[in-house]
């Protein structure tokens, strides 16, 4: 985590095992982004980034889990989402983060695009162990 979960509440978890769970993941972060009072543009950016990462967790990670909640750092409030899977991991991070590169049939803009859509982006992956991506968007 790049910041502590807000002290007054536990992060929520959402299993990501089916297509419907991607929709649920989106709804979960939408609610949080609204509660965090992000601007409409920032809400949409954060939700879209979450949508990308949830789908990657499902499609490439073979399913996993989303933990999301409000976070605080130096008096600022933000919303964070952690996508974790124990799938194959990403062998070449630079390649995976390259605009337009996909090992499947996608547009290859999910990871790189998600990074541009949020304030903090941490990718932690190891071949054979799995992948964890953490994103945070701070309220302005």
Partner 1 sequence: MAKQGTGSGLVGLLSADEGSLADQWIDSVVGSLKGRISKAEVGRELHELYGALVEALRAGGTDAQSQEMSETRALLTELSRNRARQGFTPTETAISVLALKRVLEPALNGGSAADVAAYLELGRLLDDLALFTLETYARAREEIISAQAVQLMELSTPVVKLWDGVVAVPLVGTLDSARTQVVMEKLLQALVETGSEQAIIDITGVPAVDTQVAQHLLKTIVAARLMGADCTVSGIRPQIAQTIVALGIEFGDIVTKATLADALKLALTRSGVDLVTRGGDQR
Q: By CB under 6 A, name the binding residues for ligand ADP.
A: 52, 56-57, 60-61, 85, 87-88, 90, 96, 101-104, 106-112, 131
Instruction: Tell me whether residue 110 or residue 130 sits nearer to Mg ion (CB atom).
Output: 110
Q: At what angle do helices 40-59 and 19-35 cross, to 10 degrees?
A: 150
CA 120 to CA 108: how far, in whole Å?
20
Residues 27-86 binding partner 1 (CB under 8 A) are 30, 40-41, 43-45, 47-48, 51-52, 55
Instruction: Tell me whether residue 77 or residue 86 sits nearer to ligand ADP (CB atom).
Output: 86
Residues forming the site for Mg ion (CB under 5 A): 56, 106, 110
Which strand (E) or helix (H) includes residue 84? strand 76-85
| Reduced DSSP (H G I as helix, E B as strand, rest coil) percent helix, strand, coil of the chain, to 5 | 35, 30, 35
CA 31 to CA 69: how far, in whole Å?
10
Token pair 């992956």 in the structure block, residue: 125
Picked from Mg ion, partner 1, ligand ADP, none, the partner binding residue 96 (CB below 5 to 8 A depending on kind) is ligand ADP
Binding stretches for partner 1 (CB under 8 A): 19, 23, 26, 30, 40-41, 43-45, 47-48, 51-52, 55, 99, 106-107, 109-110, 112-114, 116-117
């Amino acid at each position: 985590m790049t910041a502590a979960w807000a002290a007054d509440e536990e992060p929520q978890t959402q299993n990501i095992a089916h297509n419907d769970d991607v929709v649920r993941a989106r709804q979960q972060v939408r609610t949080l982004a609204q509660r965090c009072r992000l601007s409409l543009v920032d809400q949409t950016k954060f939700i879209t980034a979450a949508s990308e990462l949830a789908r990657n967790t499902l499609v490439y990670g073979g399913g996993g889990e989303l933990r999301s909640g409000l976070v605080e750092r130096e008096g600022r409030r933000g919303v964070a989402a952690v996508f974790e899977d124990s799938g194959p991991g990403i062998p070449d991070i630079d390649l995976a983060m390259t605009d337009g590169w996909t090992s499947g049939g996608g547009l290859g803009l999910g990871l790189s695009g998600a990074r541009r859509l949020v304030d903090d982006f941490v990718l932690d992956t190891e071949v054979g162990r799995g992948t964890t991506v953490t994103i945070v968007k701070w309220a302005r």
